[in-house]
Chains A and B, each alone.
Chain A
Amino acid sequence: MVLFDASLFLLAAGGILALISNRNDRIATICGLTGGLGGTLCGAIGAIRAFLTPEIRTVAEGAVIQQPEMMAAFFLMPVTILGAFAAIHSVGYLKHHGHGRLGIYWFFYNLMIASMILVPLSATPVTFLFCWEIMGLTSFALVAYEYHSRETMKAAWIYLLACHAGIAFLIPMFMIHLGIWQTANATLWLFLTGAIGFGLKAGLPGLHVWLPEAHPAAPAPVSSVMSGAMINLGIFGILTYAVKSNDHFLLYGYFLLICGIIGAFGGAVSAYAQQNLKRLLACSSVENIGIICMGLGFGFLGFGYQNNFMAVCGFTGAFLHILNHAVLKGTLFLAAGEVYRSTGTLNMDLLGGLMKRIPGTGRIFTLAGLSLSGLPPFNAFPGEFAIYLAGFAGLAAKSTLLFVISLAGILGLAVTGGVVCGVFAKAIGGTFLGEPRSSHASEAEKTPVSIFGAMTGLISLAVIMLVATPVMTLLLRKMPEMFLKTAGNEIAQHSNHLAGLMLKLTAASGIVLIFFIMIWLLRYMLLTGKSVEKGPTWDCGYAEPTARMEYTATSFARPLCKDINLLSCFKKHEQKPDGLFPESASVTVTAEDPATAAWWKPLFEFFGKIAEKVHRLQSGSLHWYILMMVIAVLAMLIWGFVFQTDKTAGQKDHGKVSVKKEVVK
Chain B
Amino acid sequence: MKFEFNHSIIWGISLLISLLICPLLPGIINKVKAFFAGRRGPRLLQLYYDLGKLLCKGAVFSHTTSGVLQLAPVVSLAGLGGCILLFPFGCAASPLAFTGDVILFAYLLALGRVLTVLGALDTGSSFEGMGASREIEFSALAEGALFTVIAFLILITGHFSLSDMLIGFETNQWLRFCAPMPLIFGAFGLVLLTEACRVPVDDPETHLELTMIHEAMILDYGGPDMALIEYGAALKLWLLSSIAVLLVLPVPGSSMFWNILLYFGGVFLMAILIGITESVTARFRMLKVPRMLTGALGFALIAILWIRIFRGGLL
What residues make up the interface of A, taking CB atoms closer than 8 Å to B? Answer: 352-353, 355-356, 359, 362, 366, 370, 373-377, 381, 384-385, 388-389, 392, 395-396, 400, 403, 407, 410-411, 413-415, 417-419, 421-422, 424-425, 428-430, 432-435, 501, 504-505, 508, 511-513, 515-516, 519-520, 523, 526-527, 530-540, 545, 547, 549-551, 555-560, 563
Contact = CB atoms under 8 A, between A and B. Distances in A.
Central interface residue in B64, B146, B225, by most chain A CB within 10 Å: B64
What band does the interface of chain B fall in when counting residues whose beta carbon is under 8 Å from A? 35 or more
B55 interface: yes
B154 A538 contact: no
B140 A415 contact: yes
Contact of A425 (B59, B108, B132, B148): B132
Secondary structure type dominating chain A contacts: helix
A551 B110 CA distance: 22
A417 B110 contact: yes
Given A376-B108, A410-B151, A535-B62, A519 B78 contact: yes
A435 B121 CA distance: 10
Contacts of A400: 308
Contact of A530 (B66, B78, B125, B223): B223
A411 B147 contact: yes
B141 A512 contact: no
B61 interface: yes
B230 interface: no
Given A356-B66, A527-B59, 15 more contacts: A353-B124, A381-B104, A388-B100, A388-B103, A414-B143, A415-B140, A417-B110, A417-B143, A519-B77, A519-B81, A530-B58, A533-B60, A535-B60, A545-B126, A560-B133
A557 B121 CA distance: 13
B123 interface: yes
A395 B151 contact: yes
Contacts of A530: 57-59, 223
Interface stretch (B111-119, B172-180, B271-279): B111-119
Interface string B293-307: 000000000001000
A563 B308 CA distance: 30
B308 A534 contact: no
Contacts of B223: 526-527, 530
Contacts of A403: 308
B144 A551 contact: no
A552 B147 CA distance: 31
Contacts of A560: 133, 136-137, 140
B68 to A, nearest CB: 6
A417 B224 CA distance: 31
Given A535-B61, A540-B209, A376 B122 contact: no
A527 B74 CA distance: 14
A545 B124 contact: yes
A389 B104 contact: no
Contacts of B34: none
B140 A419 contact: yes
14 contacts: A370-B114, A375-B114, A376-B82, A376-B107, A414-B144, A419-B140, A422-B140, A429-B132, A433-B121, A508-B85, A527-B223, A547-B124, A556-B136, A559-B286
Nearest to A507: B96
Contacts of B62: 534-538
Given A396-B154, A508-B104, A551-B130, A375 B147 contact: no
Contacts of A435: 64, 124
B108 A527 contact: no
A588 B45 CA distance: 49
A539 B131 CA distance: 13
Contacts of B100: 385, 388-389, 392, 501
A516 B308 contact: no
Contacts of A513: 78
B224 A527 contact: yes
Contact of B304 (A376, A407, A425): A407
A189 to B, nearest CB: 35
Nearest to B142: A418
A327 to B, nearest CB: 20
Given A418-B143, A533-B60, A508 B82 contact: yes
A504 B101 CA distance: 9
B211 to A, nearest CB: 12
Given A435-B64, A523-B225, A556-B129, A418 B219 contact: no
A523 B63 contact: no
B17 interface: no
B139 interface: yes
Which of A396, A417, A429 has the most chain B CB atoms closer than 10 A to its own CB? A429
Nearest to A354: B66
Contact of B58 (A422, A425, A527): A527
